[in-house]
Amino acid sequence: MTSVIHVNNTNGNAVGSPRKKLRTDMERKVTVILGAQWGDEGKGKVVDTLASNADVVCRCQGGNNAGHTVVANGVEYDFHLLPSGIINPKCTSVIGNGVVIHLPGLFEELEKNINKGLDDWQNRLVISDRAHLVFDFHQQVDGFQELEKSQKGQKLGTTKKGIGPTYSSKATRNGIRIGELLGDYYEFSEKFKALVAMYQRMFPNLSVDVDSELEKYKVYAEKIRPYVKETVCYLYKCIKEGRKVLVEGANAAMLDIDFGTYPYVTSSNCSVGGVCTGLGIPPSKIGEVIGVVKAYTTRVGDGPFPTELDNEVGEQLQQRGHEFGVTTKRKRRCGWLDIPLLKYTNMVNGYTALCLTKLDILDTLPEIKVGIGYTLRGEKIDYFPSSISDLYMVEVEYVTMPGWLTCTENIREFNSLPANAQQYVEKLEELLEVPVKWIGVGKGRESIISI
């Protein structure tokens, strides 16, 4: 029998019935924190500060090639895969589908931070079943590929954490996701063997004890199972219920695979677009986008760096700022603040506010330069060059500002900063047309000045 519904008007409502009203009020918007330079801007501390009022903190891309340091109650925590908000006991931490996860590294990271005092995390960690797995052989392949490039004079300075090869597996659709590890073990095993065989055809020196690895992942499957969820729906409900969601970007805008200084970039989108694809959050749900800017510029590894200081001042910044990579321990290259670079990353990300970190590292400089423009082949340009060869050729126009030669580490109010330090902050706001809402003047969470 076929049932028929009779409709009496063109709107589909019965005559005389009131039209159902849909909600027009907006759910709480998601706040995003992104690195605005080449990484190492101090995002972890900013996330930790804002996570004290957050319900959920998410990682949306990258892997354990990223490193965020948080100092809380005198204890220094290093996070690579875990969202920095995990030390907030009231906050849930989500590792999203866009992240690539090396399970041995994740459990090692958990153990290290538990030994430093991290507790009560078991009910506050959520991992997407769509996140791809980084295997040890991906890391071997990463090393082989970097060696090949190095022999050709094309070294990229990769962390050798297997991130690039894992994203390559994802793109060629033979990667393996967390959900598959937790599903049919035979199917997982067959996919694992096929992936190993493919890489061994490409790299005959690749050595993998397949049986041993599969046994190891049987154990990992049960260890990780309690934390794995379908996170798209989970985050949708969090946003709809008005929970405060904070997204922690890994790496930084100038390392974005599309918008960074390609090929000296990472293998994921670490600009604002990666938030949507890496978590399943629609653009309409994104509210504040906070760009984290170091008071000078640093870069790890190879690639162009227009404002780099290969002199005593650069060395002073490196030493005072303790500029060594959290993940790689490599020495960071240092240079003056680069406004054309920041204008470019602002175009891509649309910062609503900035956090300026490590202002105190400039305390001992009698004068400070700020790069305000680029000249290429004798002509001023109003864009950030896409070509690496062009970026190597640009000449930087600087303005020189007076230093303040006063310790700022114990200052907690903007008006208490030296006048020249205030002018430095205001110059950044003027040039970028984005407000600075926070200023970092030390390592601890208490050393953030709110404006």
Domain that holds residue 149: 132-226
Mean pLDDT of 24-34: 78
pLDDT, position 24: 44
> Quick one: tokens of 49?
């500060």
Confirm whether 333 is domain-assigned: yes
**Same domain assignment for residues 164 and 283:** no
- Supply the CATH number for residue 319's domain: 3.90.170.10
246 assigned to a ligand binding site: no
Strands (E), 182-254: 228-229, 245-248
**How many domains in the chain?**
2
**Same domain assignment for residues 430 and 281:** yes
Which of 22-36, 207-221, 262-276, 422-436 has the least mean pLDDT? 22-36
The yes-or-no verdict on residue 7 having pLDDT over 70 is no
**Same domain assignment for residues 363 and 383:** yes
How far apart are the C-alpha atoms of 284 and 294, rounded to whole Å? 29
Give the confidence band of 359 by pLDDT, cuts at 50, 70, 90.
very high
How far apart are the C-alpha atoms of 209 and 213, rounded to whole Å? 6
Q: Which of 35, 32, 30, 31 lies closest to 250 in space, CA to CA?
A: 35
Confirm whether 21 is domain-assigned: no
Q: Which of 100, 68, 99, 72 lies closest to 84 in space, CA to CA?
A: 68
Confirm whether 15 is domain-assigned: no
441 assigned to a ligand binding site: yes
Confirm whether 150 is domain-assigned: yes
How far apart are the C-alpha atoms of 158 and 156, rounded to whole Å? 6
Q: 368 forms bridges with which residues in the sheet? A: 401
Which of the residues 40, 48, 55, 142 is marked catalytic? 40
pLDDT, position 71: 78
Catalytic residue flag (residue 338): no
- The H or E element that residue 307 is part of is none
How far apart are the C-alpha atoms of 381 and 17, rounded to whole Å? 63
Confirm whether 185 is domain-assigned: yes
The yes-or-no verdict on residue 17 having pLDDT over 80 is no
The yes-or-no verdict on residue 153 having pLDDT over 80 is no
14: left (phi over 0), alpha (psi -120 to 50) or beta: beta
Q: What is the CA 340 to chain-centroid distance, rounded?
A: 21
173 assigned to a ligand binding site: yes
149 assigned to a ligand binding site: no
Give the confidence band of 295 by pLDDT, cuts at 50, 70, 90.
very high
**Same domain assignment for residues 89 and 105:** yes
pTM, whole model, 2 decimals?
0.89
332 assigned to a ligand binding site: yes
How far apart are the C-alpha atoms of 42 and 356, rounded to whole Å? 9
> Quick one: tokens of 303?
């690639």
Q: Which of 44, 22, 24, 19 lies closest to 34 in space, CA to CA?
A: 44
45 assigned to a ligand binding site: yes
**Same domain assignment for residues 275 and 351:** yes
326 assigned to a ligand binding site: yes
pLDDT digits (tens, 9 = 90+) for 244-294: 999 999 999 999 999 999 999 999 999 999 999 999 999 999 999 999 999
Q: Which of 428, 379, 419 lies closest to 399 in space, CA to CA?
A: 428
Give the confidence band of 23 by pLDDT, cuts at 50, 70, 90.
low
Confirm whether 108 is domain-assigned: yes
**Same domain assignment for residues 109 and 50:** yes
**Same domain assignment for residues 259 and 368:** yes
**Same domain assignment for residues 365 and 293:** yes
80 assigned to a ligand binding site: no
**Same domain assignment for residues 381 and 442:** yes
Catalytic residue flag (residue 40): yes
**Same domain assignment for residues 140 and 257:** no
How far apart are the C-alpha atoms of 138 and 196, rounded to whole Å? 9
Q: Which of 309, 367, 296 lies closest to 337 in space, CA to CA?
A: 296
Q: Which of 268, 147, 141, 159 lies closest to 195 in space, CA to CA?
A: 141
119 assigned to a ligand binding site: no
Q: Among residues 182, 199, 226, which one ends one of the domains?
A: 226
117: left (phi over 0), alpha (psi -120 to 50) or beta: left
pLDDT, position 425: 98
40 assigned to a ligand binding site: yes
Confirm whether 236 is domain-assigned: yes
> In this predicted model, which residue has the larger pLDDT, 87 or 68?
87
Which of the residues 55, 68, 160, 285 is marked catalytic? 68
Mean pLDDT of 206-217: 96
Q: Among residues 226, 261, 283, which one ends one of the domains?
A: 226
Q: Give the chain's mean pLDDT.
A: 91
Catalytic residue flag (residue 244): no
Q: Among residues 226, 251, 272, which one ends one of the domains?
A: 226
| Torsion (CA) 91, 97, 100, 104 in degrees, nearest 10 | 50
Confirm whether 18 is domain-assigned: no
Angstrom distances, CA of residue 19 to CA of 4, 10, 22, 24, 25: 21, 12, 9, 14, 18
**Same domain assignment for residues 155 and 201:** yes
Which of the residues 102, 138, 160, 170 is marked catalytic? 170
Q: 337 forms bridges with which residues in the sheet? A: 370
Mean pLDDT of 319-342: 88
- Supply the CATH number for residue 199's domain: 1.10.300.10
Look at residue 356 and give its three-state secondary structure: strand
Angstrom distances, CA of residue 9 to CA of 13, 14, 19, 77, 423: 6, 7, 12, 64, 66
The yes-or-no verdict on residue 157 having pLDDT over 70 is no
**Same domain assignment for residues 262 and 394:** yes
pLDDT, position 124: 95
